[in-house]
A and B are shown apart, each in its own frame.
Chain A
Amino acid sequence: MNFTRRKVLGAVGATTLAAGLPRALRAQQGAVKIGMSMPQTGSLGAGGQAALVALRMWVDDVNQKGGLLGRKVEFLVYDDQTNPANVPGIYTKLLDVDKVDLLIAPYGTVPTAPLMPMVKQRNLLLMGNFSFQVNAKVQHDMWFNNSPWNDAASWSDGFVKNGQKLGSKTIAFLAADQEFAQNLANGARELSKKAGIKAVYDQNYPPTTTDFSSLIRGIRAAKPDMVFVMSYPNDSVAIVRAVNEIGIGSGVKMFGGGMVGLQFTPIMQSLGSLLNGITNYNSYVPGMKYPGIEDFLGRYAKRASEAKVDPLGFYLPPFNYAIGQMLEQAVNGTKSLDQKAMAEYLRKNEMKTIVGPIRYDKSGEWANPRVVQAQFRGVVDKDVEQFRKPGKQVVIYPDDYKTGDVIAPFEKAREAKG
C-alpha cells in the first residue's frame, strides 16, 4: 500500500472533522423526535387516548407537508397510567435514552405537577396539556400551557357570577383530595368569599371514595344555594348518580362547576338525562366557531371510531392538535429546534390554532382565558348523536359565546327542554 504524507494527513483530518461535528448537526439527518407521557389507562385514560388520536393526526399532517425543518416528525409516547409517580421516570427516559428534541406534558394537572421541577432544572421548553396552576409556584419561563383557563378565578368566575345574579347567599364545596381539585377549590372559595357568598359545607373526599350518597346527604342537610363540585371522571359519574337518587334539595339554584368527565362522550352517553340541569365547565361546545375546527372534528371522528375512543372529541382532542400547531409555528418561526428561541417566539407571538388565536402571558398560561360554563338541557338517554348539535349544552358564560341564561333552581332546570 502506498501511504504518502498527504494521504495520511488527509485521512486524519477528515476523521477529526467528522468526530468534531456538533452532535446536533449530525442528528439533523434523523427525525425530529417529540416525546410525552400520556394517561392511557387509569382515571384519565379515556381522555388521554382521545387526545393521542389528535396528536397523531397532527404528526401525520405535518409529515405530509414535509415535516419540520425538512425532517420527518417522530412521535414517542408512554402510558403513565394516570400515576404521577411514573412521570419523572418516563421523561428521564425520553430525554436521556430516546433523546427527544421537544416535549409535551401529559394530560392533566396531577400527572404534570411532578414534571415541573425537572424541566425547570434542565431549562426545557414544555407544552402544557390541560394543567391547572402547576407553574404557579415553580415559575418556569419556558412553560406554555394549552388550556382555556388561567388562574382559579378564570375557571370558577362564570359559575359564581351566575349564582350571584340568581341571588345566591350560600355555597357548598365538594372537592377531590388531590392537586387539581384543591387548587380549583381554593380559588373558588376565595371568589365566593369576595362575592359575599358564605360557605355552609366544605368537604374534601379521598380518591378511593366508592359511594357519594353520604356526602350528598350532608350537602342537602346544609341547604346551600349553590353547589360547586371539583371531581375527577369516576367520581363525577358517582356524584351525578347519587344526586339523582338522594336529591340535592329544592333550594339549590346551581350545581356543578368543575366536574371533570362530564365532557367525555362515553360518560355523557352513559349518564344521559341525569346530566340535565348541571352547569359545568367546558373547553368547546358545538356552535363555537373557529377556523379549521369543523374539518378537524370531521377527520377526528373517523380516526376515533377506528381507535375506539371518544367519538365526538370536543374536549381535549382539538386542544392537543393545537399543541402540535403551536410547536410547528415556533419551529418554523425560529427555523430551529433551539428551545430558548422557541420559547421566546411562543411568548411574543399570537398562535393561530383550530381552537382560536392563543397568546400567552408571563406565567405561560392563556392571556385571554375562555372557560365555558354550560348548562345541560333536554338530554335524552342512549343517544350520542344529540351532543353533536348545539343546544344540549347551553353556554351561560362567557358573554362572547353565550347562547342562553341559566335556568334555576336546579330541580326546575332538570326538566327544561333543550
Chain B
Amino acid sequence: MIFSLDLLFEALLFGVLLGCFYAAVSIGLSVSFGLLDVPHVAHPAVMILGSYFTYVLTGYGLDPIVAGVVLMPAFFVLGIVIYRFYYETFEKRGTEAAVRGLAFFFGLAFIIEVGLILGFGVDQRTVHAPYIGSSLSLGEYRIPYRMLVAFGVALVLTFTLTVYLSKTFTGRAIKAVAQDEPALRLMGANPVRIKQWAFGIATGVSALAGAMLIIVGPVEPAMDRLYIGRTFCVVVLAGLGSMTGTLAAGLILGIAESIVLMMLGASWAPAVAFGLLLIVLGIRPQGLFGR
C-alpha cells in the first residue's frame, strides 16, 4: 500500500465530497424515517425514479440540476399521495399495522423498479452536461465537478431544510409531530396533514437527490438496492431526524471510507459504514446528534 501525506490529504478531500454525496442521498430519508417514523425503504427507489425523470427531461435540453428542481413539485405531490395511501391502509390501524407498512414500502420499491424496467429497459442511463466527465485542477489535485455538484446539493438541502424546520410554523409542527403527536393535536394542528406535508417534502427532496445521482454516475432500475443499507446507516448514525446531523454523519462515513480505502483496501470500506454504526449505537443509542 502506498502512503504519503499528499495521498492522505487527497483522501480527506475526497472523503468530504463522498460524505456530502451520502448526506444528499440520505436527507429525504432523514425526514420520512427520522422525523415521521415511516419505514420508507422505498426511498432509494423513489430517488432512482427521480434520476429517470431527470434523464427524460434532459432529452428536451434541460440541464440535469434544473430538471431536478423542476421535478420537485411533482414529487412533492407524489409523496403526499404515497403517504395518504400508507396512512389509510396501515398507520391508521395502529402500531402493528404501521410495522406491516414495511412490506408496503418494499412492494412500492419493487413496483418502481419493475415499472422502470418496463419503461426504459435494463440498460444504464446517463446524462450529459458540461460538468460531467471533467474536473477542477488545483495544482496536483483534480476534483471531479460531478462530486462538487453533490457537495453543493448536500449543503443547499441541509441548510434549506434546517432553516425550514426551525423557522417556519409548519417546519416546527413537523418537528413537534416527531416528538409528541398528542400534544400537537391539543394545539389544534392535524398531525396527519402535517405528516403528509412532511412526507411530500421528503419525496420532493428525493427528486433533486435523484438528479444528483444520475450526475454522479449512470443509473439502472435495480440500483436502489445499493443504497438502502447506506442511507439508513447515515440517518441512524446521525440520530433520527437531525438534518445537520445527517450531513455530519455522511461526512464521517465518507471520510472514514476514503481513508480506510487508502490505508487498508477497498474491500474494508463497506465494513466501516456498518462498523461505525454498531459502535455509535453501542455508545449513543440515540445516534450522534439525536436527543
Contact = CB atoms under 8 A, between A and B. Distances in A.
Interface of A: 40-43, 45-46, 49, 81, 177, 201, 203-206, 208-211, 213-215, 217-218, 221-222, 233-234, 237-238, 241-242, 244-247, 264, 266-267, 270, 274, 308-310
B126 A270 contact: yes
Contacts of A234: 124, 218, 220, 223
A49 B122 CA distance: 8
Q: Decide if the interface of chain B is mainly helix, strand, loop or mixed.
A: helix
A341 B117 CA distance: 41
A217 B10 contact: yes
Contacts of A81: 222
B122 A246 contact: no
Nearest to A308: B121
B267 A205 contact: yes
A25 B205 CA distance: 63
A290 to B, nearest CB: 27
A81 B117 CA distance: 12
Lowest 9 CB-CB distances: which A-B pairs, in order? A45-B122, A205-B266, A245-B144, A266-B123, A245-B135, A270-B126, A46-B123, A221-B2, A214-B261
Contacts of B11: 214
Contact of B266 (A215, A233, A310): A215
A242 B144 contact: yes
B236 to A, nearest CB: 18
Contacts of A214: 11, 14, 258, 261-262, 266
A201 to B, nearest CB: 7
B142 interface: yes
20 contacts: A41-B117, A41-B221, A42-B222, A43-B220, A45-B122, A45-B222, A49-B122, A177-B266, A201-B2, A204-B265, A205-B266, A211-B18, A214-B262, A217-B14, A238-B218, A241-B217, A246-B142, A246-B144, A267-B123, A270-B126
Nearest to A237: B218
A213 B218 contact: no
Contacts of B258: 214
B226 interface: yes
Contacts of B21: 210-211
B247 to A, nearest CB: 18
Contacts, number: 109
A245 B230 CA distance: 25
Given A209-B266, A214-B266, A266-B124, 16 more contacts: A45-B220, A81-B222, A206-B267, A208-B230, A210-B217, A211-B18, A211-B216, A211-B217, A213-B144, A214-B11, A214-B258, A217-B10, A234-B220, A237-B124, A270-B124, A270-B126
Contact of A270 (B121, B218, B265): B218
Contact of A245 (B2, B113, B134): B134
Interface in B130-174: 133-135, 142, 144, 146-147
A218 B216 CA distance: 20
A244 B132 CA distance: 10
Contacts of B10: 217
Contacts of A41: 113, 117, 122, 221-222
A145 to B, nearest CB: 24
Nearest to B144: A245
A238 B132 CA distance: 12
B7 interface: yes
Interface string B97-135: 000000000000000010001000111101000000111
A227 B82 CA distance: 48
Nearest to A205: B266
Contacts of A204: 265-267
**Which of A46, A218, A233, A310 has the largest number of chain B CB atoms within 10 A?**
A218
Nearest to B221: A41
A236 to B, nearest CB: 10
B147 A213 contact: yes
Nearest to B117: A41
B125 to A, nearest CB: 8
B269 interface: yes
B131 to A, nearest CB: 11
A206 B266 contact: yes
B266 A245 contact: no
A245 B216 CA distance: 12
Given A206-B270, A218-B262, A246 B135 contact: yes
Contacts of A43: 220, 222
Contact of B121 (A49, A177, A237): A49
B4 interface: yes
A219 to B, nearest CB: 9
A221 B2 CA distance: 7
Contacts of A267: 123-124
Interface string B16-48: 001001000000000000000000000000000
Contacts of B133: 241, 244-245, 274
B142 A221 contact: no
A263 B21 CA distance: 30
Contacts of B117: 41
Contacts of B4: 221
A238 B18 CA distance: 14
A204 B266 CA distance: 6
Contacts of A308: 121
B267 A222 contact: no
A307 to B, nearest CB: 9
A310 B261 CA distance: 35
